[in-house]
Amino acid sequence: MANKSFNLSELNGSNGFVINGIDAGDFSGRQISSAGDVNGDGIDDLIIGAPYADPNGKSKAGESYVVFGSSSGFSESFDPSTLNGSNGFLINGIEANDFSGFSVSAAGDINGDGIDDLIVGALFADPNGKSIAGTSYVIFGSSSGFSASLDLSTLNGSNGFTINGIDPGDKLGIFVSNAGDVNNDGIDDLVIGATGVDPNGNSGAGASYVVFGSSSGFSASLDLSTLNGSNGFVIQGFEAGGLLGYSVSAVGDVNGDGIDDLIVSAPWSAPNGNSKAGAVYVVFGSNSGFSASLDLSTLNGSNGFVINGINQGDYSGRSVSSAGDINGDGIDDLIIGAPQIPFATGIPASTGASYVVFGSNSGFSASLDLSTLNGSNGFVIQGIAPGDSLGLFVSSAGDVNGDSIDDLIIGSPFADPNGNTDAGQSYVVFGSSNGFNASLDPSTLDGSNGFAINGIDAKDNSGRSVSGAGDVNGDGIDDIIIGARYADPDGKGEAGESYVLFGNIAPELDLNGQVTGINFAATFTPKKGAVSVVDKVALTVADFALPGGVKTALNPNTATLKGATVKITNLLDGTNELLRATPGTTGITATYDAALGVLTLAGTATLAQYQQVLRSVVYNNRATNPNTTARTLEFVLNDGQ
């Protein structure tokens, strides 16, 4: 079980590490993201934006740092200036004041070569002499290696390509993201925000561009005006000043139709006359094709739906993200940040909130009212104190506690942990298949349902960016990354820091045994250091006696088994107790009913295969104060006779 809080100052290399900005004023960590596996070594990588950096003496051209994951361990701190191609590489912006790295993201595998790609936004770039039209850069992953630095001007279609904003002031690349596979062609797609676009004369209504992935290759530059529905499409804002595209994201498959969906936000919108309440739009993926342009006013529940902010000044949609499958029902969910920041001089930031909306295969109406979230269709996470701005950044965290259910991470950058003003705090909320109440107070996170992550120094604004990191240390458990752009590493003012926190699981009991026979052993594994507690307790044939005759694990009526169950007969800590198994390639499925404490194995397989899976059974207990009474596990085998 995790502790109820963690101080980022305690990162030591074994539990995570810090990535320091290089120079004062770089704002490293302004945005951070998992990069997927861009070097094809089987371990996830990271990308960190430093948009105010001055590569090659070009003021604020911006830099991005790709840090390769490793199963060989990390030191407690990492200096991006040591990137050399073998441990990662540096991405340099092209021109002064481009702010390359303002937005960074994994791109999925957009060119279909089996290796993950990257996307970097430079919203103030001036492509083709168009001032602040903005540019986004797609960098292809490669298993052939990278140089220590990559100059974005060298992208030529074979190693990546450039996407330029269409008109001056478009600010293309203010937010960039993988979109999943929204056209269901088997190749990942992209979505890019451009808040300065003026569709149909609506100044600042904004737009988002969806670019379809392709295994047929890309030119060195993609002209967004050529999107025609077959290679991508534009999503146009319709409300002047709404700033559609401020945040964009893949959301997985929220309607359960087997096709990925996406989400775009307009946090300055005024739905129902509520100024700056914000609006969020979910666009369903489709294998029936898209038109060249999507009018958001046509979302009707069958092709997507709108989620309107509740109150004036909520800025709902300031950050949007997939939530993974946080309630364990097999359908992806989403999360929306509403930090409630008035952005007016002298007015402090508000408490903030984040809304989790559960996916559903039962359909959606054309609009969803966030005030109707009741625990069955989603829930709200409330900020703790005035001025915290909870929800300024939100993200799926992957599965950081190893219970096979996705978790969330939410930034609250103006929180004051340990008395440090605006040091910032982030909250990890564990997913659960046992349901949620309509509202969650982060102050109730106690290690069993999630935990708080405390920033280090006053004014760091830790949690101003947060993200799942994938599994960067290769231990099989997802990790997270947190940005603190205003941190001062080594006395370098606002150089910025990013913190990688490794995921962890509760101490576990691993049931294993001999290669043959029916004996089992149990080993206790706290943080993966095995300690024997029971050594090969011998079982006799009588131990497997069943009514109607003796059936043993070695003497079934047939050469195959149909199923098996493992049950905790005295479930003393309720749903905090967990059994899991690793079926591998046996074809056996494993499902766990937390309410009953029963692990069910199903599928016709050989006796040896069932022995293999049964010996992989692991017991976890996530209770804050677990009951120490001995547990009894009941094994039942079904040979179908």
Residues 237-252: tens digit of each pLDDT: 999 999 999 999 999 9
Burial class (CB in 10 A: 0-12, 13-18, 19+), 276: buried
Provide the pLDDT for residue 610: 85
Provide the pLDDT for residue 520: 43
List residues bridging with 328 in a β-sheet: none
Residue linked to tokens 């943080």: 527
Cβ neighbours for 165, distance < 8 A, ≥ 6 positions apart: 125, 127, 130, 132, 133, 134, 135, 171, 172, 173, 194, 224
**Nearest-CA neighbor of 126 among 94, 101, 84, 81?**
94
pLDDT bin (cut points 50, 70, 90) of residue 448 is confident
Long-range pairs, 631-635, Cβ under 8 A, ≥24: 631/568, 631/569, 631/570, 631/572, 631/577, 632/568, 632/569, 632/570, 633/511, 633/566, 633/567, 633/568, 633/569, 634/565, 634/566, 634/567, 634/569, 635/564, 635/565, 635/566
Provide the pLDDT for residue 353: 95
**Nearest-CA neighbor of 207 among 158, 253, 182, 240?**
240
Lowest mean pLDDT among 158-162, 163-167, 495-499, 537-541: 537-541
pLDDT bin (cut points 50, 70, 90) of residue 641 is low
Domains of the chain: 5-501 (2.130.10.130), 508-638 (no CATH)
Residues 180-198: tens digit of each pLDDT: 999 999 999 999 999 999 9
pLDDT over 70 (residue 550): no
Provide DSSP, 25-82. Answer: T--TTSEEEEEE-TTSSSS-EEEEEETT--GGG-TT--EEEEE---SS---SEE-GGG
- End-to-end Cα separation, the chain, in angstroms: 41
Give me the chain's average pLDDT, please.
89
pLDDT over 80 (residue 303): yes
% residues pLDDT > 90 (the chain): 76
Residue linked to tokens 């991005």: 64
Provide the pLDDT for residue 531: 30
CB neighbours of residue 200 within 10 Å? 10
pTM of the full predicted structure? 0.82
Provide the pLDDT for residue 365: 97
What's the sign of the alpha-carbon dihedral 50, 56, 61, 67?
negative
Provide the pLDDT for residue 551: 35
How much is the average pLDDT of 305-330?
96
pLDDT over 80 (residue 94): yes
Q: Running DSSP on this structure, what letter comes out for residue 533?
A: E
Q: Rounded to whole angstroms, how far apart are CA atoms 258 and 284?
A: 11
Residues 250-264: tens digit of each pLDDT: 999 999 999 999 999
How much is the average pLDDT of 221-227?
97
How much is the average pLDDT of 434-447?
95
Q: Rounded to whole angstroms, how far apart are CA atoms 504 and 446?
A: 15
Q: Running DSSP on this structure, what letter comes out for residue 400?
A: T
Reading across the β-sheet that carries 160-164, which strands appear in turn?
A: 103-108, 117-122, 135-139, 160-164, 221-223
Residues 380-425: tens digit of each pLDDT: 999 999 899 999 999 999 999 988 899 999 999 999 999 999 999 9
Q: Which residue has the higher pLDDT, 8 or 533?
A: 8
Provide the pLDDT for residue 614: 83
Contact call for residues 16 and 499 (beta carbons, < 8 A): yes
pLDDT over 60 (residue 234): yes
Q: Which residue has the higher pLDDT, 592 or 530?
A: 592
Token pair belonging to 572: 């003393």
Residues 111-145: tens digit of each pLDDT: 999 999 999 999 999 999 999 999 999 999 999 99
The amino acid sitting at 422 is D
Provide the pLDDT for residue 632: 80
Contact call for residues 204 and 195 (beta carbons, < 8 A): yes
Residues 568-579: tens digit of each pLDDT: 988 888 888 888
How much is the average pLDDT of 633-641?
76
Provide the pLDDT for residue 544: 35
Q: Rounded to whole angstroms, how far apart are CA atoms 168 and 594?
A: 56
Provide the pLDDT for residue 537: 38
pLDDT over 70 (residue 515): no
pLDDT over 90 (residue 330): yes
What's the sign of the alpha-carbon dihedral 212, 218, 221, 227?
negative
